[in-house]
Every structure is written in C-alpha cells, then in structure tokens.
Amino acid sequence: MIDIALHDIKARTLGVPVYELLGGRQRDVVPALATTGAGPGEAMLEEARHFLAEGFQAIRLQRGLDRRAGEPEEIFEPRDAIAEAAEWLIQARAALGTTVVLGIDFHHRLSLAETASFCHKLPPGTIDFLEEPIRDETPEKYEALRRQTPIPFALGEEFASKWQALPYVERHITDFMRLDVCNIGGFTEAMKVAGWCEAHYIDLMPHNSLGPVCTAASIHFAAAVSNFA
C-alpha cells in the first residue's frame, strides 16, 4: 500500500494520472469480469444472462462457496461439488454461447486428483479458465496437473512478491496471472511481473477484492499494461 500511495502522491504532484507513471495508457476502457453469486442452478444461469445483457463478456461462475448472511455454514464435499459444477457449466456454455469467456473458481478446495477428475468431466471448450483449484505453494503440483488437462489456469491472487510469481511464469503453469496489486507489493512489483508475463505470452487478469484503493490501483494498472485480458 505504501508503494501505491507514493505513486499517487507523485502523480498528483505532476498533475497526471497514475497510469502515465506506469508507461502510459494502453486502452480507453478496462473491461471487467463479472461473478455470479448463486451456486450451480437456474439462478446462476439467470445471473449470467443478466451480466451478458449488461455488456459483460467475461463471467466467473461460482460454485456457491460464498456464505450469505443468515444461511447455514456450508459443508464442502469435493466429489459432490465437482459433479454438480460440471453439469451446470456444460448447461451454461450451451445457454450463453461460445463467445463469452467463462470460468470457475474453486478457492483452493480441491486435491490434484479431484481437479483432474473435474476437468475430465468437461467437454473441450466448456470453460476458458479454471481458477485456484489447488493451493499454490507447490508449483510442481500445478505442473503435474497441467499434464492432465489443457484447460487454462488462472492463478496468483495470493502471491506476495514477484519471486512467488516467477516459477508460474517461467514454467508457464498459469495462463492468466491473477496478481493483486495490493498483495504483490504495489505498482512497482506488479509492473515487473506484467513484463515477465508479456515475454512469456501470459495474460493478466488482476484480482481485486480489497476495497476502493485496490479498485483504483487495479484500473490504472490495467490501463497501462499491454497484456491485459
């Protein structure tokens, strides 16, 4: 956050947007990723249709892991979850068409075998990315998973430095870098990771859930990088 604040102070002093300090604007509009709140089912499809009607071209379909106020604590059963999610993702692709970008986030809750099983339940082209199916402390396990599925991975929201991101870039075991500007160390570190990703043909899908400062920082970062997805 200190790095972000220092960039903001310098930009205000110079009278320019922060993205000018990062190399200049690459785009006039920063497209956003919409996330459904309902778990697999008709309500999820209705939310997704609403997002499409509002102009969103990328949608992350939830597995219903986010507890809502007043609802009982969910007990997560991986095998039930992957079977249900696979069934509704197939229906979602059929209902929403082939042009919209679809993905799902499992919030690190699967094992390697469960993730592979889930991927094998999906016909090719069902989803465009699979986010955080297993924990990211061991890159070798994502390499093992990569050998078992061609589905693109979206990883990196918890990376706390460029060094943590490095093996995932060098070994190309993520296809969408989900770095969080606030977690990675601010603009300085984020731009270094962005450059590495560009050189390795990896697109950026910044993670943003830490409040208005992170939102503003993410917009300027996304405006300034060429390989933004």
Active site residue 107: yes
Give yes or no for a contact between 35 and 59, defined as CB atoms under 8 angstroms apart.
Answer: yes
- In this structure, the number of other CB atoms found within 10 A of the CB of residue 161 comes to 13
Q: Minimal CA–CA distance to 214: which of 184, 169, 177, 174? A: 184
Spatial separation of the C-alpha atoms in residues 47 and 75, rounded to whole Å: 24
Spatial separation of the C-alpha atoms in residues 88 and 118, rounded to whole Å: 12
Spatial separation of the C-alpha atoms in residues 192 and 176, rounded to whole Å: 16
Helix residue ranges, H only, 33-176: 42-53, 78-96, 112-120, 139-146, 162-170
Structure tokens at 31: 């497209």
Q: Minimal CA–CA distance to 188: which of 16, 10, 27, 12? A: 10
Give yes or no for a contact between 92 and 61, defined as CB atoms under 8 angstroms apart.
Answer: yes
Spatial separation of the C-alpha atoms in residues 188 and 185, rounded to whole Å: 7
* Residue type (1 letter), 61: L
Active site residue 207: yes
Selecting among 107, 108, 120, 172, the annotated active-site residue is 107
Selecting among 50, 200, 207, 220, the annotated active-site residue is 207
SS3 88: helix
Residues noted as catalytic: 107, 207
